Structure formats: C-alpha cells, structure tokens
Structure 1
Amino acid sequence: MLNELISQLTNFGANFVKIVDISMLSAEENRGYSVALLIGIVLGPSYIFRLSKENIIDSCEFSEKENDADKLAEWSADFIVTKGYKAFAQSERNLGLHGFYEETTKTTPLPHKKIAILAGLGWIGKSNLLVTQEYGSALCMCSVLTNAPFLTENRPIIMPKCGECTTCKNICPTGAINGAIWEMDMNRDLIIDVYHCDGCLKCLSNCPWTQKYMKDNIFK
C-alpha cells in the first residue's frame, strides 16, 4: 500500500514523501494517530531567482504549490481510508473546518515543520521557516495523520546551521524576525512576530541555503 501511495504521489507532482512515527507526541499533537506522512513540493529555481534577484513580490507559485500540497494530502487521506484505516489530512481547509487552527495565535497542534524535523529533513531557521540542505526553504508541505501500519523513517533532529548569518533578519521589511537561534520546545514568538509578517517571501528566497539550491539548479 505504501509503495503504491508514494508512486501515485510522485506521479501527481510530490518531490518527496516522508513517513514519521509521531506516537511519542502528546495526545493534543498526534490526536491519537501514530504515523504522519509529510508531502513536499519544491519551488522552482527560476521562481526563487525572480523573487530574490529581481526583487519582486509574487506569491503566485508559492500559493499554487501550497494548494497542491494540500490537495495531495487530502487525496492521500482518502486513499488510506479506502484501504480500511483512519487518516486525517492537515490541509488548511481541514484544519479550519475541524477547529485545529487557532486564529488568534496563528498556531496548529502539530505543524508540518515539526513532522519535518522528526524526519530529519531540515532545521528551523532564524526566519522560523524549515531550512533543508537540498532545497533551502524553497518548498511547500502538507501532512496526513494516520493509524496505517507504515514503516517509519525518523531521523536524528538537526540543529540549526544558520550560525552567525542574519540575512533573513536584515532583509525583513517589517522587522518581524528577531534573529534568535531555534532550540527544542522554544516559543515561536521568540523567533518571529507572526503578527507583523506580511508574507513577502524575502526571507525564504534570500536565505543562503535557498540561494545555493537556486544556483545549483537554475541552469539544469
């Protein structure tokens, strides 16, 4: 079942699928599910080039791929249910419908980023975005919680590799990024003031790790 699911997701445009054990998390976070699927779609290097080098504000591709990741998660949940198991897609629509998104604090019980960290996919940068060695922050993700007996692939948690870099903090037009280095169980508000973030994507596109991904792939 898992191989069929991953094969279909790849055909539908997913760049990666991670299977993560979440049974050790609190009941509030995992809501009684033991496994999470993390589905990721990568932003194109030419899009990153336009955002960073042409200094434009354009959320079209980002929004489109965020929506695509949500749709893949919802499709995956339906697929798993047809196999006789329970599943819940953590799409923006579902989180809102079921009351799992807190508007006043802009939080959810189990963010996709936390699942990504448990998968060893990357670390939380000073921008509060997930940063990966392969793609930087040029990716969109959604997740599915399930009780299906999938073989999980948790990896050691990667601590931040940002060092003394303050690119995201310096480029943020609203001053929302504090420049703090992430630690386990750290309060998000110490890293970023989400209420003043305007979603311009400058921190995402100008992160040196995202720039490396762009430069390595833009002419391929």
Structure 2
Amino acid sequence: MVNELIYELNTRGVDFIKVVDISMLSKKENRGYNIAILIGIVLSPDYILRISKENKVDHSEFGEKEDKAGDLSEWTADFIIKKGYKAFAQSDRNLIHGFFDEITKTTPLPHKKVGILAGLGWIGKSNLLVTSEYGSALCLCTVLTNAPLPTENRKLIMPKCGECTVCKDICPSSVIHGTTWEPGMNRDLIVDVYNCTGCLKCLASCPWTQKYMDNNIAKQDQCKSY
C-alpha cells in the first residue's frame, strides 16, 4: 500500500513524504493514532527570490501550495480509509472543527513536530521548520492513521542557526525574539504569533532558504545555457 500511496502522491505534485511513529506522544497529540504521514510541497526558487527582494506581501504561490497540501492530505486519508484503515487529515478544513485553539493559535500536533520526528529539520528562531535542503521553503500537512506503514523516525536535530538573527532583524512587526529553540520550550518565548502579519519575510530571508534558492536558480541557469 505504501508504494502505491507514494506513487499517487508524487504524481499529484508532492515533493516528499515522511512516515513516522507517533505512538509515544500523548493521546491529545496523536488522537489515538500511532502513525503520522507528513506531506511536503516545496516553494519554487523563483517565488522565494521574488518575495525576498520585493517590498510587498505575496501569498500567491504559498497560499496555493498550502491549500494543495491540505487537499492532498484529505485525499490521502480517503485513500487509506478505502483500504480498510482509519485516518484523519490535519487539513485546515478539518482542524478548524475543534482541533485549533483560536485563543492560543495552536493545534495538538503541528505539522512541523512530525517533521522534527522524521529528522527533516529543526525549529528556527522564526519558529518555522528549517531544513538543510529547502530552508523553510515548504508547505506541509499531515495525516494520522492506524495503517501498518513502515516508519522512519530520526534523531532530533538541534537548531543550526547559531548566532544568526536574520529573521529577527528583517521582521517588520518585530515579533521574532531571536531565541534559540529547545525541546519543550514555550512557543511564545520564540515568536509573538498574535501580532505576526504573515508577510513571509522570515521564511524567504533565512540563509538556509536563500541557499536553496541560489543553488536551484544556478541549476536553472545552467540548463538554459545548454
């Protein structure tokens, strides 16, 4: 089943899929499911270049791919249910029905926590998931299930931000505190989500995102030269 699922998701535009064991989490977090499937769609380097250079908010590609990740999580849940198992897609449409706390702006199991369990990356000073390959240029969604899928949990990656404060310095709303994340740390010590405008400047300007952008634009230029 897993190979069929991966094939179907890849044909639908998913860039990576991670499956992790979440049985060790609290019942509030895993809702009684033992497996989480992380679906990832990567933002294009051209889009990152545009939003990091232009002084305006542009949610065009980000919003489109966020919605697509949510839609594909629901498709995945339906696919698994048709195979005879249980599944719950953590899409925005589903989380809004009692699974998202409007006051604290939190969900029991954020997508990025599943990413951490998969060894995909670490929590940056922006409170975004940062990866070595893509920086923060990705849109995520998760599916919880009891299907017997092979898992790939990895060792926790601690932040690699060092002394960098680019995200803090560029934030127009000054909501990023510049705090280095540690396991169990209260999110509010890292970022003031209540006053964040969602401008995406921290996402695009992170040196890891810029590295992804530069490397892939260079590859595009090389291909054009042939």
TM-score category (smaller protein):
over 0.9
* Residue aligning to 2:77: 77
> What root-mean-square deviation, in Å, do the aligned CA atoms of Structure 1 and Structure 2 show?
0.6
Q: Deviations over 1:44-64 (max 9, x none)?
A: 000000011233310111010
In structure 1, give the amino acid aligned to 2:195.
Answer: H
Q: Deviations over 1:121-167 (max 9, x none)?
A: 00000000000000000000000000000000000010000000000
Please tell me whether the aligned partners of residues 178 and 190 of structure 1 are also in contact (alpha carbons under 8 angstroms). Answer: yes
In structure 1, give the amino acid aligned to 2:106.
Answer: T
* Residue aligning to 2:224: none
User: Which whole-Å CA distance do the structure 2 matches of 1:25 and 1:174 have between them?
Assistant: 34
In structure 2, give the amino acid aligned to 1:102.
Answer: D
Q: Give ranges in structure 2 of 5+ residues lacking alignment.
A: 221-226
* Residue aligning to 1:22: 22
Q: CA deviation at 1:33?
A: 0.1
Q: CA deviation at 1:24?
A: 0.2
* Residue aligning to 2:190: 191
User: Which whole-Å CA distance do the structure 2 matches of 1:77 and 1:115 have between them?
Assistant: 16
User: Which whole-Å CA distance do the structure 2 matches of 1:5 and 1:215 have between them?
Assistant: 32
Q: CA deviation at 1:112?
A: 0.2
Q: CA deviation at 1:203?
A: 0.1
* Residue aligning to 1:56: 56
User: Which whole-Å CA distance do the structure 2 matches of 1:31 and 1:51 have between them?
Assistant: 37
Q: CA deviation at 1:218?
A: 1.4
* Residue aligning to 1:147: 146
Runs of 4+ displaced beyond 3 Å: none
Please tell me whether the aligned partners of residues 50 and 56 of structure 1 are also in contact (alpha carbons under 8 angstroms). Answer: no
Q: Write out aligned runs for 1:22-171 (5 A).
A: 22-97=22-97, 99-171=98-170
**Is 1:207 the equivalent of 2:206?**
yes
Q: Give ranges in structure 1 of 5+ residues lacking alignment.
A: none
* Residue aligning to 1:173: 172
User: Which whole-Å CA distance do the structure 2 matches of 1:37 and 1:157 have between them?
Assistant: 17
Alignment length, in residue pairs?
219
User: Which whole-Å CA distance do the structure 2 matches of 1:206 and 1:179 have between them?
Assistant: 14
User: Which whole-Å CA distance do the structure 2 matches of 1:180 and 1:195 have between them?
Assistant: 17
User: Which whole-Å CA distance do the structure 2 matches of 1:111 and 1:49 have between them?
Assistant: 27
Please tell me whether the aligned partners of residues 57 and 200 of structure 1 are also in contact (alpha carbons under 8 angstroms). Answer: yes
